[in-house]
Structure 1
Amino acid sequence: MSIHFERTGPLTELTSYPQWAQDMVADCAKTKARVLDHEIWQMMIDLELDHESTRNFMKGLWPFIERFPSYMALNLLKTRYGRSTGDNMARRWLVRNIRVEQNHAEYWINWAEGAGVSRDELLNTDAPHGTDGLPRWCEEVSSRGTLAAGMIATNYAIEGVTGEWSAMVYKSTKYQESFDPSIRVGSLRWLHLHADYDDTHPWEALEIVCTIMGMNPSVDDVTHLAECIKRSYVSMILLGDRCIQRQWSLGMVNDAAA
């Protein structure tokens, strides 16, 4: 029987969590760094992302943004009140945060419109080919995976790294000032919120997962959770690659012509 985990240290310090969780996070660090080091964020900050790539980004991530509350709802369905401390924590947290997410789709549309991608195009045209890996993975792990796997893949891994890249972009004065002052606040609300509240969300999700798993889960179970985290990161990397693929291709054609 697994020994119960109850956090005693600060929420946002990794040493507050079991050794297996610390090792798991360390094992996934290089893959996470590849998300944060992806050139798309610096291109965005430097205003070097062309319209086609911006369109790919806004449309490519839209299905994930729009469906994110449903992934949380799928994980909520796995809980049973009173079954365990971990179930109770997950149930309470998911119910509360599904409500928090309810307006985020509209905020994403506002960002897209401010960046030159219309609401009609976002809602009524297909996402670019090759950008569906992230939503498909999130739906798979949230519907078929364990509660711990679903939450570690979405609420820990994706919300965590999204909070970090959002903060990088949002703190750029150059990027903020590229939006007309009359729409700037509304256009950047999605970025602002995710750069802010997501600082604690992934830690809260990690605490819940550790409470579900206990102090000494099996090696196979921990390995599986790490694989879920890495797959979330890789899905984001591949989506970023696809968003700027056209720009790469044009650059290669121009180089060849020169």
Structure 2
Amino acid sequence: MSPVSREVARPEAAPHRYVPPDLTPTAHPRWLESMLESLREDWNTACWPPLFRATADGQRPPLRHWRRVLAHFFPIVEAFPKYMGLSLAKTTYGQRPGDASARRWLLQNLGVEAKHAEWFIDWMRGIGLAPDEVFRQRPLPEVRALHEHLLDTCARGTLAEGVAASNWAVEGITGVWTREVVEPFRAYAEEGARIDAYSMMWLKVHARYDDQHPEEALEIIKLSTDASSGEPFRVQAAARKSLRMYAAALHACCKD
């Protein structure tokens, strides 16, 4: 008897396997181009408050400012998977174009978010913050306002509004400033900060984000926005509010 041939079927050889399309970049409609241009100044302001810009330029601002930012922004980091979960609840299969792709993208990114709060705590500990004290601390009003905006928009707004406010605005700008801050931040070792693989993980992971992530968020926004209604204006308003509140919260953290 001749041996039985045992071939392992590759995914691409399985014609009946369903996989939602990836969120690949497509040409922006006119309303989105207009939105991005309108938000450019707010985006740049949120990306580069004085603390981030000075750190990226190697000026090493007072470490107490970074301690205040991390202590007060921890609730935003901890809650980020919750914002995304509220957006995920709006997706399904087959009822709207792109829903399955958005659902898959959100689920994948929720998996990525799983350890971000823990890595953020490692960063806090590295610069001298006691996590238990941070957990008991009441965030600044500006930070609470940002959290409430993100929570409310992801819960009560449309899928496009929630993704614009959280994944495109807040997560998008975080991927920008961390890329230029991660290496200069190591200089704080000279001021007693513990700089190692654990304390730097949150910064390093976010610094590895490239332009693909906010572009994918924009694809969800395009797929899920009813451009024939007033929704584009609400999407723009949600994103603008996130950017301005983020910048205001950072400014409040850095007041002496």
Give the structure-2-normalised TM-score: 0.83
Alignment of 1:109-258 (within 5 A): 109-172=121-184, 175-179=185-189, 183-197=195-209, 199-213=211-225, 217-218=227-228, 220-245=230-255, 247=256
Aligned residues: 232
Distance 2:46 2:133 in 1: 27
Listed one character per residue, the Cα deviations across residues 24-76 of structure 1 (whole Å, up to 9, x for unaligned) are: 1111001111112311213444222242x333201211111000001000011
> 1:47 corresponds to which residue?
60
**CA 1:147/1:39 → structure 2, altered by over 3 Å: closer, same or farther?**
same
Q: Give the structure with higher Rg (CA).
A: 2
Amino acid at match of 1:48: P
Q: Which runs of 4+ in 1 moved over 4 A?
A: 180-183
Distance 1:197 1:55 in 2: 23
Secondary structure of the structure 1 residue equivalent to 2:197: helix
The question of 1:56 aligning with 2:64 is answered no
Structure 2: which 5+ runs fail to align? Answer: 1-20
Q: Which has the higher helix share?
A: 1
Give the structure-1-normalised TM-score: 0.82
Distance 2:118 2:148 in 1: 21
Distance 2:142 2:48 in 1: 21
Whether contact under 8 Å (1:159, 1:198) holds in the other structure is no
Structure 1: which 5+ runs fail to align? Answer: 1-6, 248-258
The question of 1:21 aligning with 2:32 is answered yes
The question of 1:36 aligning with 2:47 is answered yes
Whether contact under 8 Å (2:123, 2:199) holds in the other structure is yes
Tell me the C-alpha RMSD between the 2 structures: 2.3
**CA 1:125/1:23 → structure 2, altered by over 3 Å: closer, same or farther?**
same
Q: CA deviation at 1:183?
A: 4.2
Distance 1:224 1:181 in 2: 43
Q: CA deviation at 1:131?
A: 2.2
> 1:250 corresponds to which residue?
none
Whether contact under 8 Å (1:151, 1:205) holds in the other structure is yes
**CA 1:118/1:44 → structure 2, altered by over 3 Å: closer, same or farther?**
farther
Distance 2:198 2:128 in 1: 14
**CA 1:30/1:183 → structure 2, altered by over 3 Å: closer, same or farther?**
closer
Whether contact under 8 Å (2:78, 2:117) holds in the other structure is yes
Identity of aligned residues (%): 31
